[in-house]
Structure 1
Amino acid sequence: MNSAKQFSKMFTAQIKMMFREKQVWFWNIFFPVILMVLFMIIFGGGSGDSFKATIAVVDSKPNATSTMLLEQLRQIPVLEFKEEQPVTKEAGNALVEKQDIDALIILPESEGANTMQLVVNKADEQGATTQAIAGILDQFIQQANWTVAGATPTFSLTKSSVSSGADDLNYADFLLTGMIGLSVAQGGLFGMVELVEMRRKGLMKRLRMTPANMGLYGLAGMVVRLMLGVIQIVILSLIGVFGFGANLHINVFSLVIAFFAGGLVFNAMGYLFSSFSKSMEAYMGMANIASMLMMFLSGVFFPLETLPTWLQPVTQMLPLTYFVDGMRDGLIYASGVASSSFWVGIGIMVLWGVVSFLVGSQVYKAKSIAATR
């Protein structure tokens, strides 16, 4: 049987094996979709609503100062009052404790008092909504001070944003491309589990005793997993665009290069895990540890700059960091293959892939020699 025909039969056989294995479809298709949808919803990627915060106000001893501040608070459009009238401090604290409101504002009890108090739930103390309310009130107090002093501010601040990509890019695009990179990577990390089962059942030894070309067998499996990666990209992109309004600006050349480099690297890492594993449980354990570490340290969900400074050098050593960057380059930034940072990332990924494959091959070889003694 010639090589082309042998490869065709091996490819067809592995396609059938993939369709029969329900876990493959769950971990490579349904799980990434569920994870992406959850993160899109949690972080606002699927909502076009503007920011709103629900508050209540305590004005226990109404006076000219508290009345003036209350009227100005009602003019802030992002603040929604839970109760139209001021509440008691006890009632307000109860609302905060039950998380029925985002914050409670306590107004000054006399005209001479100069302090407003903000009460928030401890569970939300570091939350984005609490930080936003604190920032709004800080600006509000500064403006009130100018008004009382009868002075006009000399300077003001305007805000704009720029991107290395198109002007319509937003967080939904960032998250979508990160999830696509993570999904393809997990397809490789978890995709070699059948090698562990085949070796455990003695199928690998029997296959070596046949005229089958083991190199073609491995190549067929690699092509199947790359094909599954393409399916992942298409499905997640369609959900991101039509379900959450994501914007894609595709550069075909950088996308193809990054996809093939990443696909080969993470398949090589899966091959390395399989070489050390004597059972499916051991393999899944190693793959899960690697996946979880890289998931949160490679800029999938948040920019790397938000991580602690001491942790950022670690992120620069992980292959998923560069794979996610490459996928974002090909799907949203479209900066092309002329970027030197793109090729540096590809080089680091290739290094990971080569080392993983060589070490895995040596482990397999050593085990095969030991088995014949």
Structure 2
Amino acid sequence: MKRWIAFWNILAKDFRTYYLKPPNISWGLIFPLAWTGMFFIKSGKGLESISSILPGVIALSILFGTTSLLAVTVTFEKKNRSFERLLLAPIPLELLMLAKTSGAILFGVVNAFVPILMAVFLIDLGHVDWLVFVPAVFLISVASTFLGLFIAVAVSEVFEAQTFSNFFRFPMIFLCGLFFPISTLPVFLKPLSYALPLTYGADMLHGAIHGGNMFSVPIDMAILAAFCAGLFMVSLGNIRRRWIA
């Protein structure tokens, strides 16, 4: 019971200290809103094009929101040595880091529905397979959050984390099938596309919104789950080696 009390206290503290501050609200919620509006306006092909770009906009909203939040919470606390006090909490390191990342996962899920709320006034979303869409949003949020955690524990400064994040984020825009099929990429880039977790999350979203999956849903979910577990375990290893040892 003490472990879960500590878990919720850490999560609540992060929401009060970081997530509900104006800069993170603007980056985590207003930015996806502006991003979505830009894509919808620039599509220039009428309302029917919104359905085609919606999966990509949703995935980017999740990716940018979660990775940016982790760059602040984890890197800032390590720099100010407040993370060391968290290590005294009566919970294992695994549960501690889940508490530190749960808020970003929730923000990622919220970000995903910003484009949906905008699109619902423009197009009919009755055809969306919500049984696939919701797990896809959750798994993309978890994978993006753990990618942000992996980046945050590898650097010392917040600006370094943001810069390092862009090293992963911007290539994903073009390589993960968000706005155009991976089949149109040059042959030498396709292996890199399949090595990125967002490829499989985007595949699930495309299938849920307008069909046309590259892989079956169970395969996409299994690969995304493997990415989540791998990123989390590598991040924990880095924390033990760099911050605890």
- TM-score clears 0.5: yes
Contact kept, 8 Å, 1:176 with 1:246, in 2: the verdict is no
SS in 1 for 2:69: coil
Q: CA deviation digits over 1:58-90, x for unaligned, max 9?
A: xxxxxxxxxxxxxxxxxxxxxxxxxxxxxxxxx
Call closer, same or farther: CA 1:359–1:3 in 2, change over 3 Å. closer
Distance in structure 1 (CA, Å) of the matches to 2:84 and 2:4: 23
Shift of 1:229: 2.3
Contact kept, 8 Å, 1:298 with 1:318, in 2: the verdict is yes
Shift of 1:248: 4.9
Residue 345 of structure 1 aligns to which amino acid in structure 2?
D
Distance in structure 2 (CA, Å) of the matches to 1:301 and 1:331: 13
Residue 31 of structure 1 aligns to which amino acid in structure 2?
F
**2:8 corresponds to:** 8
Q: CA deviation digits over 1:271-324, x for unaligned, max 9?
A: 111111111111111111111010111122223233334323322222111111
Is 1:267 matched up with 2:142? no
Distance in structure 1 (CA, Å) of the matches to 2:181 and 2:49: 10
Q: CA deviation digits over 1:160-209, x for unaligned, max 9?
A: xxxxxxxxxx4311211211012112233223121111011110112223
The structure that is helix-richer by fraction is: 2
Within the candidate set 114, 117, 134, 1:238 is matched to 117
Residue 327 of structure 1 aligns to which amino acid in structure 2?
L
Call closer, same or farther: CA 1:205–1:8 in 2, change over 3 Å. closer
Contact kept, 8 Å, 1:249 with 1:334, in 2: the verdict is no
Which stretch has the larger CA shift, 173-182 or 349-358? 349-358
**1:346 corresponds to:** 221
**1:312 corresponds to:** 190
**1:198 corresponds to:** 77
Distance in structure 1 (CA, Å) of the matches to 2:58 and 2:142: 16
The gaps in structure 2 that reach 5 residues or longer are none
The structure that is strand-richer by fraction is: 1
Identity of aligned residues (%): 23
Aligned Cα RMSD in Å?
2.6
| Larger Rg over CA atoms | 1
Call closer, same or farther: CA 1:35–1:342 in 2, change over 3 Å. same
Pairing of 1:37-48 with structure 2 (within 5 A) = 37-45=37-45, 47=46
Is 1:368 matched up with 2:233? no
Superposition misfits of 4+ residues, deviation over 6 angstroms: none
**2:107 corresponds to:** 228
Which structure is higher in RCO with an 8 Å CA cutoff and minimum separation 6?
Answer: 2
Which stretch has the larger CA shift, 258-267 or 213-222? 213-222
Using the size of structure 1 for normalisation, the TM-score is: 0.59
Contact kept, 8 Å, 1:175 with 1:301, in 2: the verdict is yes
Shift of 1:224: 1.9
**1:293 corresponds to:** 171
**1:325 corresponds to:** 203
Call closer, same or farther: CA 1:278–1:227 in 2, change over 3 Å. same
Shift of 1:42: 1.5
Pairing of 1:157-176 with structure 2 (within 5 A) = 170-176=48-54
SS in 2 for 1:192: helix
Shift of 1:19: 4.2
SS in 1 for 2:179: coil
Residue 265 of structure 1 aligns to which amino acid in structure 2?
A
Q: CA deviation digits over 1:243-278, x for unaligned, max 9?
A: x43645232322232222222212111111111111
The gaps in structure 1 that reach 5 residues or longer are 49-169
Contact kept, 8 Å, 2:19 with 2:69, in 1: the verdict is no
SS in 2 for 1:24: helix
